Chains A and B, each alone.
Chain A
Amino acid sequence: MIVPASPVRAGPAGRPRPAGMPGRPRDAAPMKIDPIHQFNIEPLFTLGHIGNHTIAFTNSSLYMLIAVAIISILMLASGSQLVPGRLQSVAEISYEFVASTIRSTAGAEGMKFFPLIFSLFMFICVSNLVGIIPYTFTVSSHLIVTAGLALLVFFTVLIYGVAKNGVKFFKIFVPHGVPGYVLPLVMFIEVLSFFLRPVSHSIRLFANMLAGHIALKVFAGFVAMLGFSLGAIGWVGGVLPLALTIALYALEILVAFLQAYVFAILTCIYLNDAIHPGH
């Protein structure tokens, strides 16, 4: 997110700071850029304890709830007219988009996983897009969240693949037409890449969102820093980083959608292995 120069701010995500949480000092060096602050997890209230862990409803939880609410409103409150309105068109385009992605990558059988892939795509897409709004929090900028989703996909593939195909599922580790003497090496690489899938799957999304938000914050911070430290000349000079910020912002909107799409299409490709092993 971008935070323009505002020496006085309510809270880390534009919300009033919950009672009992001390404010941060506001008297330090005025124009220090802290691009990491936007990723802070702020507990709003405690839900309970599991072992030693405190389970809190955090700002991250709030934004997950917002994403779920937006998706629900989009999909459920948009009517079922024969001639769709705007909201219904968006809902239907999302539906058709995900459905055609699944059909083209995992075939008609992949439609079994339509609810899962649709949920993943919409959840990531909506939370990413909400996260670009200044002062908001981006759920997918935390590795634990993307890892949770990637592991969900990984275990879905593994369990469904074994349950449906039995031992034949492991044919995905044995590519066709590989000479016998390199087969062990190829199998080793295949197995390794299979188990590294959740890693790359989660880090791709996490790193894209994190890096994008940090870059935005840094460039936006330059504008304020130049202005506050150099006065009028600084404000004029700030036009350049401002233009860059705007360009980056547009790029980040694209990335927000694209990463959700990439996550969904990789899920489809992985599920295709479970549905059709040996391809």
Chain B
Amino acid sequence: MAESHGGAKGPAAGAHTEADGGHHSGGFPPFESSTFASQLVSLAIFFVLLYVIVSKLALPKVGGAIEARQNKIEGDLAEAQKLKDQSEAALKAYEGELASARSRAQAIGNESRDKANAQTDAERKALEAQLAAKLAEAEKTIASTRTAAMSNVRGIAADAAGQIVQQLTGVIPDAASVNAAVDASLKG
């Protein structure tokens, strides 16, 4: 040390020793037994104090902080995993929904097409039936008209035959025989 106390081991040190209550008799300080009791007592006091602070306050606090962080990280990871699982489940559900909706849409399409077809068929059949009825009626009308016309033709034919016979022979023929002749010719 740069401090100048070359005479420290001399008389001045002796005076110092007396003032300090026996310390520094000029020897090597770590081996001065007179200081041991003081040092041991203060070491005991402060080390016990430190031990109490460390074991009761410091380590629980710091350890708690570390543990809380660890728990937080693990909790967050678990939460993230849970959310990931949830989103995957949601995606799967969405895909399922999509597939079922698609199949349902197809089913609805088929159904409505079938229904439309059936309806068209039914309408067509109804129309055909209606037309057939009208046709039958028309045919009946034609037949009756023909029958009527045919009966008129017999009358006309009988008249015409009577006139022709009158013209040729000058004799008015008997109506009954004319009719019989016309009928015979018509049948023939």
A residues sitting closer than 8 Å to B (CB atoms) are 3-7, 9, 20-22, 24-43, 46-47, 50, 53-58, 60-61, 64-65, 67-68, 71-72, 75-76, 78, 80-82, 84, 88, 91-92, 95-96, 114-116, 118-119, 122-123, 141-145, 148-149, 152, 206, 210, 217, 220-221, 224-225
B residues sitting closer than 8 Å to A (CB atoms) are 1-8, 12-13, 15-16, 19-24, 28-32, 34-47, 49-51, 53-55, 57-59, 61-66, 68-69, 72
B residues less than 8 Å from A148 (CB atoms): 39-40, 43-44, 47
List the count of A-B residue pairs having beta carbons below 8 Å apart: 213
Residue of A nearest to B51 (CB): A119
Contact B23 A95 (CB under 8 A): no
Contact B47 A119 (CB under 8 A): yes
B residues less than 8 Å from A144 (CB atoms): 30, 35-36, 39-40, 43
Known: A7-B3, A47-B41, A148-B40. A24 touches B16 (CB 8 A): yes
CB distance from A235 to the nearest CB of B (A): 14
How many Å lie between the Cα of A50 and that of B41 in the bound state? 10
Where chain B touches its partner, the secondary structure class is helix
Contact B29 A36 (CB under 8 A): yes
CB distance from B19 to the nearest CB of A (A): 5
Among the listed B22, B28, B30, B39, which residue makes an inter-chain contact with A54, where contact means beta carbons less than 8 Å apart?
A: B22
Contact A68 B4 (CB under 8 A): no
Q: What are 5 inter-chain pairs, A to B, with CB distance below 8 A? A: A22-B12, A24-B16, A56-B38, A118-B59, A143-B30
A residues less than 8 Å from B69 (CB atoms): 82
How many Å lie between the Cα of A76 and that of B58 in the bound state? 6
Known: A21-B20, A22-B12, A28-B5. A36 touches B42 (CB 8 A): no
How many Å lie between the Cα of A61 and that of B42 in the bound state? 5
A residues less than 8 Å from B8 (CB atoms): 24-25, 34, 37
How many Å lie between the Cα of A3 and that of B62 in the bound state? 38
A residues less than 8 Å from B13 (CB atoms): 24
